[in-house]
Amino acid sequence: MGSLAVSRLAVDDVLPSASVADQVADIARKNLAPLATTIDEGTVYPDELLRRLGDVGAWGSHQPVNGAADLRCAIQSIAALGEVCGATAFMAWCQNTLVWYASNSDNPKLVAKFADKFGSGQILGGTGLSNPMKSFFGIEKLKLRGRKVEGGYIVKGALPWVSNLGPDHYFGTIFEREDGGGIVMFLADCSDPAITLQPCKPFLAMDGTGTYGVQFRDVFVPDELILAEPAGPFVKKIRAGFILLQAGMALGLIKDCIQIMDEVDGQLGHVNRYLPQQPVQFRELHAEFEKETMALARDPYNADDSYWRRVVALRLRAGDASVAAAHAAMLHCGARGYLKSHRAQRRLREAYFVAIVTPATKQLRKMLAGDEH
């Protein structure tokens, strides 16, 4: 499996921290590839590998410097992992998103305590923003509620799925103040005894991602864990990065689906050429997505509405293309890909996750239709 090498990027300048993405690709090929099946089966949550990726800088490249941030290296790193294992690409997105929240916070105590520990992978974790993201677009109500007390809030409620978690992990999420004072974004500390991680029923894929249902039973959230209050303007600041980082999952997966199609071309090309979708089309699509992603990823704080619509449109197309590429890979492989031992069927299951993780295809379509609440 080839890496998404910098020399092949369709960008007009040199990617910063290029060596980070190359090192991540190297770890993906050498260390992640042998684990991909066990992660998919849910028998392994690869925390050691995630920390190792932190050691080579995989989680720190997108931290803002002097008010500017560049997501390109982080996305290329997620793509390199996604070429090998969609579940690990998703965990990489979770970790990168956690870093993105902490390093953009205006709470100096929180930044000092957590930004570098998340950025280096010393502390792992993720994000519980699916419910809030859906609530902003009128799809569901906020599931967490907070009551103001001296030095912080008392939070209760439950989130059905949060990934890349473990007993000492953190994640960023949002509660609504019970007194009508708006929404607050905070870090949840999974080691708090008032927070319970409940194992989920087995999924179609993504079982090795440390995904749990999370219960908050009157959790005290001190001021030092508040990411943003009010959360509204902060969400506007981080939302493009949240979505753009997901493009890495799609880029890696589509690339491997092209490789799967290429691998069977020698034996089956004589008949596969009658299929309507060919690797060449997905190569073009991949190049186009990569170019658009890299262009948008250089400017994640752009507040223009036209920029936001480009981000949302790219995300929608990336989900559709992931499913289409994995579907085409299945048809090209035939019975070979129908074997449980072949990765084509894993790629198909992973592709559906790209299309359903928040913002899901249906939400993206609602957003583009302009139905923001």
Is residue 211 within the footprint of ligand FAD (CB under 6 A)?
yes
Instruction: Compare residues 201 and 273 and give the one whose CB is closer to ligand FAD.
Output: 201
Instruction: Compare residues 245 and 261 and give the one whose CB is closer to ligand FAD.
Output: 245
Residue number of the CB atom closest to ligand FAD: 130
Instruction: Compare residues 310 and 349 and give the one whose CB is closer to ligand FAD.
Output: 349
**Contact between 290 and 301 (Cβ < 8 Å):** no
Q: Of 206, 226, 240, 294, which lies in the binding site for ligand FAD, with binding defined by CB under 6 A?
A: 206
Outline where DSSP puts E strands in 180-296.
Answer: 183-189, 195-199, 212-222, 226-228
Instruction: State which of positions 252-311 bind ligand FAD (CB under 6 A).
Output: none
Least separation in angstroms between residue 195's CB and ligand FAD is: 15
- Gap between the Cα atoms of 116 and 49, Å rounded: 18
Residue type present at position 63? Q
Is residue 107 within the footprint of ligand FAD (CB under 6 A)?
no
Alpha carbon separation from 146 to 224, 299, 310 (Å, rounded): 15, 33, 34
Instruction: Compare residues 96 and 127 and give the one whose CB is closer to ligand FAD.
Output: 127
H or E segment and range at residue 125: strand 125-128
Q: How far apart are the first and last CA of the chain?
A: 44
**Contact between 241 and 69 (Cβ < 8 Å):** yes
Taking every pair of Cα atoms in the chain, the longest distance, rounded to a whole number of angstroms, is: 72
Q: Of 69, 84, 91, 129, which lies in the binding site for ligand FAD, with binding defined by CB under 6 A?
A: 129
Is residue 194 within the footprint of ligand FAD (CB under 6 A)?
no
Least separation in angstroms between residue 138's CB and ligand FAD is: 12
Is residue 119 within the footprint of ligand FAD (CB under 6 A)?
no
Whose structure tokens read 């998703």? 90
Least separation in angstroms between residue 243's CB and ligand FAD is: 12
Q: What is residue 7's three-state secondary structure? A: helix
Q: Of 105, 130, 246, 293, which lies in the binding site for ligand FAD, with binding defined by CB under 6 A?
A: 130
Is residue 162 within the footprint of ligand FAD (CB under 6 A)?
yes
- Gap between the Cα atoms of 252 and 75, Å rounded: 10
Residue type present at position 89? A
Instruction: Compare residues 162 and 285 and give the one whose CB is closer to ligand FAD.
Output: 162
Instruction: Compare residues 89 and 360 and give the one whose CB is closer to ligand FAD.
Output: 360
Least separation in angstroms between residue 188's CB and ligand FAD is: 11
Give the dihedral of Cα atoms 238, 369, 91, 70; nearest 10 deg. -40
Least separation in angstroms between residue 256's CB and ligand FAD is: 20
Phi and psi at 141, nearest 5°, equal: -90, 155
* Residues forming beta bridges with residue 157, ordered by sequence position: 144, 216
Instruction: Compare residues 16 and 138 and give the one whose CB is closer to ligand FAD.
Output: 138
Residues that bind ligand FAD (CB under 6 A): 94, 126-130, 134, 140, 160-163, 203, 206, 211, 356-358, 360, 363
